Amino acid sequence: MNTATTIDSLRINGERLWDSLMQLAQIGATPKGGVCRLTLTDLDKQGRDLVIGWAIDAGMRITIDQIGNGFMRRAGRNNALPPIMTGSHIDTQPTGGKFDGNYGVLAGIEVVRTLNDHGIETEAPIEVAFWTNEEGSRFVPVMMGSGVFAKAFTLAHAYAATDTEGKTVKDELARIGYIGEQEPGDHPIGAYFETHIEQGPVLEDNDTTIGVVQGVLGIRWFDCTVTGMEAHAGPTPMALRKDALQVATPLMQDVVAAARRHPPHGRGTVGMVQVFPNSRNVIPGRVKFSIDLRNSTDELVDEMADEVKALAARLSAESGLGIQIEQVSSYPAQVFHPDCVDAVARAAHKLGYSNMPVVSGAGHDAVYMANLAPSGMIFIPCKDGISHNEIEDAKPEHLTAGCNVLLHAMLERAGVVG
């Protein structure tokens, strides 16, 4: 079991992976086939306990840090080496699915089980992490555990976050028994991989099994407010109107056009619109809408934003109406480390899976980890590109394929003793 050929033929147990996914999905299962397991609830504790039990059964050593991140470690031959890590999250959206996050954690457990089955020792240790509150549905900020781990914000900031009932992260962590002693981020990492359903339609649309994730798109969120003058729709002739909606609509269209002007990864969305007073026979006096711009580099996102802002200035000058564009949030683009990206591509190629380079349009814990260690992600298709929904679905053969790619990418980085 220690020649290159033998290692190449190594495969994970897809049925076992599927069974674990389905068992975990029972905790917080919803009538429509989804999962509601909000972070730091009793159900989250049950999920954490189940996963840790499996890790202990697999001979792993468990550490919990002060923000409740769980690290499950399989020793290597040289434990002075930083571990090769994989992970994701097991909290879900209120109407979430079975695979988002959970797949990334259980794929890591399955990698370890497979190594155990075949008696394979790695040079560097293998570590599987579950990160606290990736979803951000109950407490903000999102990606809280990995964010604290990567020192994107402080532990104190995360502890103080409250849910709608006023309960704090710290109290809820303590209540479910998941405040550990380890200081977040106190151990070095050799490399980080994360497997995840795509949450988009690209792989399915291209009939491709493995997405070799090149990076995560940078995001800028803006609020745009157009201020006109409300007036009666009947008695006010067209020439005397200051119709905020009519000045807003070309700008809404340009958000999409800006994305199309910057292919292939440009994305532009107006998802939220509020019209005031929002009455059938009153000309809108004010329109507020959201702008979501994304692209593969921060420079491209900035170019898109500049174009939209330039049009806003022109429309404001032409119409005489006020247009304000205010940045709400900004997440930098993250390009994954070529060594990790290549390791994923090589593994997919070696295993004979159809694969293509993709980008992630959504944030993941891997974005924060990329600041600490060479990182990469593996995407598999999800049905109709739908996620954050109880009907989220993925095929067993794709889940198996992604886990096999993870296994081989991690082994390449960890080194096999032989």
Q: Does 356 bind a copy of itself (CB under 8 A)?
A: no
Query: Binder to a copy of itself among 147, 200, 215, 374 (CB under 8 A)?
Result: 200
The answer to whether 168 touches 162, Cβ cutoff 8 Å, is yes
Q: How far apart are CA 182 and CA 180, in angstroms?
A: 6
- The residue among 156 and 238 lying less far from a copy of itself, judged by its C-beta, is 238
- The least CB distance from residue 271 to a copy of itself, in Å, is 5
1 or 272, CB closer to a copy of itself?
272
Q: Give, for 407, the enclosing helix (H) or strand (E).
A: helix 396-414
Q: How far is the CB of 22 from a copy of itself (least distance, A)?
A: 24
In this structure, the number of other CB atoms found within 10 A of the CB of residue 78 comes to 12
DSSP letters spanning 293-359 = EEESSHHHHHHHHHHHHHHHHHHHHHH--EEEEEEEEEE--EEPPHHHHHHHHHHHHHHT--EEEEE
Contact predicate 30/390, CB 8 Å: yes
Q: Is residue 290 at the binding interface for a copy of itself, with CB under 8 A as the rule?
A: yes
Distances from the Cα of 311 to the Cα of 170, 253, 261, 295, 299, angstroms: 46, 11, 14, 19, 19
Report in angstroms how near the CB of residue 396 gets to a copy of itself at its nearest: 22
The single-letter DSSP state of residue 217 is: -
Residue closer to a copy of itself by CB (options 191, 224) is 224
Contact 248, 288 (CB under 8 A): no
Cβ nearer to a copy of itself, comparing 68 with 285: 285
The reply on whether position 221 binds a copy of itself by CB under 8 A is yes
Q: Which is nearer to a copy of itself, 166 or 234 (CB)?
A: 234
**Total binding residues toward a copy of itself, as defined by CB under 8 A:** 58
Binding status of residue 288 toward a copy of itself by CB under 8 A: no
Subset of 309-328 contacting a copy of itself (CB under 8 A): none
Q: Among residue numbers 247 through 276, which ones bind a copy of itself (CB under 8 A)?
A: 249-250, 252-253, 256, 259-260, 263-273, 275
Binding site for a copy of itself (CB under 8 A): 198-202, 205, 217, 219, 221, 231-238, 240, 243, 245-246, 249-250, 252-253, 256, 259-260, 263-273, 275, 278-284, 290, 292, 294, 360-363, 385-388
